[in-house]
Amino acid sequence: MSAFFTRITGVRLAKVSGVFAAAALAASPVLALDNIKMMIGANPGGGFDQTGRGIGKAMMEAGAVKTVQYENKGGAGGTIGLAQFVNASKGDPNAMIVTGAVMVGAIVRNKPPITLANATPLARLFYEYNVFVVPANSPIKTMADVVAQLKNDPGSVKWGGGSRGSVDHISVAMIAKAVGVDPGKINYVPFQGG
């Protein structure tokens, strides 16, 4: 039947299938999946972990799934978890991974053999924003203070954030570049797990 609609209307199969799937779902009761396997490409406790567990909880509360099985696999900006997910979940329609922009930077920087091209994106849930903070007793009180110190002695400003190549790391390099400082001279310290 799909081939018939494709030939007659010229509409791509994916669009026709999506329309029929939506109509079928509206006409019949939706059954919950028994189990979703959710890989979280980060260590426990961080933002992606909280996001993944929040999604799983919402899916269960909505009756879309009966149980969610979580697995955290942090490291290398989430690319270790991505590789494990892709290799272990081929052909499993009930497997998903939660990750974010940190992985994009890690893929560009580290060039792993498994990338996001090996997975199918489902949804973008939120944008990521960076907030820069210093201890209350720091002599640095404004971003202008940071920029002045960065220009004077780039290595003296210690930046902490997620993995190398993460949004945190990229944003610091962009700040350095914008104020005329070689991004290679920044003192960036990566931390795991948010």
Segment 57-72, tens digit of pLDDT: 999 999 999 999 999 9
Which domains, ranges and CATH numbers included, belong to the chain? 1-30 (no CATH), 31-128 (3.40.190.150), 143-190 (no CATH)
Pairing of strands 187-190, 158-161: parallel
**Distance set, CA 188 to CA 86, 111, 116, 154 (Å):** 30, 20, 25, 10
Residue 176 burial (CB < 10 Å; 0-12/13-18/19+)?
A: buried
61 with 84: CB under 8 angstroms?
no
Q: Specify the range with the lowest mean pLDDT, choosing from 25-29, 111-115, 140-144, 189-193.
A: 25-29
Tell me what percent of the residues of the chain surpass a pLDDT of 70. Answer: 81
- Quote the CA–CA distance of 156 and 152 in Å, as a whole number: 9
pLDDT exceeds 70 at position 29 = no
160 with 129: CB under 8 angstroms?
no
pLDDT exceeds 80 at position 55 = yes
Structure-block tokens of residue 102: 């940190």
Question: Roughly how many angstroms between the first and final C-alpha of the chain, as a whole number?
Answer: 49
Q: What is the pLDDT of residue 30?
A: 56
Q: Which long-range contacts (CB under 8 A, 24 or more apart) does 62-67 make?
A: 63/32, 64/30, 64/32, 64/33, 65/32, 65/33, 65/34, 65/35, 65/36, 66/32, 66/33, 66/34, 66/35, 67/34, 67/35, 67/36
Angle at CA of residue 110, ends 75 and 82, nearest 5°: 45
pLDDT tens digits, 144-189:
999 999 999 999 999 998 877 778 888 899 999 999 999 999 999 9
- Quote the CA–CA distance of 78 and 43 in Å, as a whole number: 9
pLDDT exceeds 50 at position 10 = no
Nearest partner of 94 among 132, 128, 65, judged by Cα: 65
pTM of the model: 0.64
